[in-house]
Structure 1
Amino acid sequence: MLRRVIALSLLLCCAPAWAKPRWQELPPTPAPLVGETAGYAAVNGIRLYYARIGSGPPIVMLHGGLSNSDYWGHQAEALASHHTVILVDSRGHGRSTRDDQPFGYDLMTDDVVGLLDMLRIPRADVVGWSDGAILGLDMAMRHPDRVGKVFAFGANADPSGLIEGVEKNPTFAAFIDRAGKEYEALSPTPKDYGAFVDAVGRMWSGQPHWTEADLKRIRTPVLIADGDHDEGIKRAHTEYLAATIPGPGLLILPNVSHFAFLQDPALFNAALLAFLDGQ
């Protein structure tokens, strides 16, 4: 099914020769969905923002570093007809607070587990992008009883998987600038974006640091996915993840980058639904 989706996209997405390639675009961040129910969970010393929409088996959606849960708007809309979609602003991101603890993937994963505890959800699928994908894989390693499937888009297992100088890429630089404006509009500490970026950057420089043995502990069904023009993740590293985690799928979406879910939401959603629901 995934191969057919990709082939169809290649036929339909062709743009005029003078148009800007889709993978160089940064479409607008979606607005929050009408019908979302929002709240805060007191977990691990912070107030963690979340929103719920839809009904059915639960799916937790985890965004990338520096961003917020609004980025998942196109996907939440597609999933909400058959799932309870739980959108989370990671600690210090979006509307969530942070404390003096340094950013760390284990801590942020434990925040998600704390939220599930508060919501009395014993087990959920996880859809993650970038840092959110890392959280999904970490959850599969350390809390395997709490996670069903993991759709991991744009993940890395250690800092060697990152492309050096990604912040200078025009598309990624535009994202960083946009993220700053969104931080100022949403954050409880709107003037602290610089300090926030520095703190997240320290995490990126040393985490995650998973060994091959760590990855081979995963028994959760996983789809490792990325765009064929990802600005920040090395293709060889994505392939390494898929080759090392026991039994995962590997999906490389065409003509998109680290921001595929915005650049081609129809293709992204088709891949997501095919993995989660077998459609």
Structure 2
Amino acid sequence: MTSTTGTLEFRVPAPGGGLLWAERGGRGSPVVLLHGAGMDSRLWDSVVPELRRHHDVIRYDARGLGRSAPPDGPFDDLDDLRAVLDHFGLPAAALVGLSMGGETALDFALARPERVTALALVGTSVSGHAWPSDAETDAYGRARREGDAAALAGLELSVWASMGRAAPGGALIETMVRDNAERRLVSEHHLAFFPGREAESRLDRITAPTLVLHGDRDHPEIAVIAGRLVAGLPHAHGQVVAGADHYLPLRAPDRLAGLLLAHLRTGCP
């Protein structure tokens, strides 16, 4: 189906059943955008137009979030990413992931290195990382255990969107987080856990050229993770983006688009 922006929308069959909403537009080497937990592909709204001027850009809503169908059993986000690439006939692509999306991109690069031409990791998490225990972490755990979507959304906005509603992208961030709070609880309940899947100790095996970015007003632990990624990935370089919290693609879209395009020019064949 053609969208109002001239791009194409798709429903991609998900492994095990259900459909993933996806959108494709532009020409050039392929780039897949992966959003974070509790968000959806609207995260990339302000970046996609510029990227499409130079690349074949695909973005999709992760299982159970945005316009994708909720899971009714265990699922693997790596299988979903593979299904998206296969659906569009892409043997390989550059992966741009934020937070949970960056973690998925790293895990996928370890599992299927031949399918990843380049990585861009924005405010990313990494599997195997031990997050420090604090009041915020405890509150997140409690909200998940109790199925308290309102509390989870409130924490997401106060901790990760700390610049607030008045900052660029603030209204969309708030809408997106509240839209996905209930869905996030369902999706995370069914997301399969693989104890042996951890990237932090195996970063040296990832050979794709990698850009590591985070905002200067993101959660402090994201800066710690970024430092480890830059030090551990063989072909990585990092940069801090001023005036952005965890929702960097909506807080500083022009700056992010420029950095991504420069990296993809050198990192993609």
TM-score (norm 2): 0.77
Where does the alignment leave 5 or more consecutive residues of structure 1 unmatched?
1-31, 184-192
What pairs up with 1:247-266 in 2 under 5 angstroms?
Answer: 247-266=235-254
Deviation at 1:199, TM superposition (A): 4.8
**Corresponding residue of 1:187:** none
**1:110 and 2:79 are equivalent in the alignment:** yes
The residue matched to 2:213 in structure 1 has which SS?
A: strand
The residue matched to 1:149 in structure 2 has which SS?
A: strand
TM-score (norm 1): 0.74
Deviation at 1:33, TM superposition (A): 6.6
Which is further off, 253-262 or 146-155? 253-262
Where does the alignment leave 5 or more consecutive residues of structure 2 unmatched?
138-154
**1:178 and 2:149 are equivalent in the alignment:** no
**Corresponding residue of 2:62:** 90
For the Cα contact (< 8 Å) 1:159–1:209, is it kept in 2? Answer: no
Distance in 1 of aligned mates of 2:195 and 2:250: 26
Is the alpha carbon distance of 1:182 and 1:198 closer, same or farther for their aligned partners in structure 2, counting shifts above 3 Å? closer
The residue matched to 2:45 in structure 1 has which SS?
A: helix
Q: Percent identity?
A: 27
What pairs up with 1:50-199 in 2 under 5 angstroms?
Answer: 50-102=22-74, 107-157=76-126, 158-161=128-131, 164=134, 165=136, 167=155, 168-169=158-159, 171=161, 177-183=174-180, 193-194=181-182, 196-197=184-185, 199=187
Distance in 1 of aligned mates of 2:240 and 2:63: 29
Is the alpha carbon distance of 1:121 and 1:203 closer, same or farther for their aligned partners in structure 2, counting shifts above 3 Å? closer
Deviation at 1:159, TM superposition (A): 4.8
**Corresponding residue of 1:210:** 198
Deviation at 1:194, TM superposition (A): 2.9
Alpha carbon RMSD of aligned pairs, Å?
3.0
**1:37 and 2:27 are equivalent in the alignment:** no
Distance in 1 of aligned mates of 2:259 and 2:201: 28
Of residues 206, 230, 233 in structure 2, which corresponds to 1:242? 230
Is the alpha carbon distance of 1:237 and 1:202 closer, same or farther for their aligned partners in structure 2, counting shifts above 3 Å? farther
The residue matched to 2:250 in structure 1 has which SS?
A: helix
For the Cα contact (< 8 Å) 1:69–1:88, is it kept in 2? Answer: yes
Deviation at 1:89, TM superposition (A): 0.7
The residue matched to 1:61 in structure 2 has which SS?
A: strand
Distance in 2 of aligned mates of 1:207 and 1:234: 22
Distance in 2 of aligned mates of 1:70 and 1:200: 19
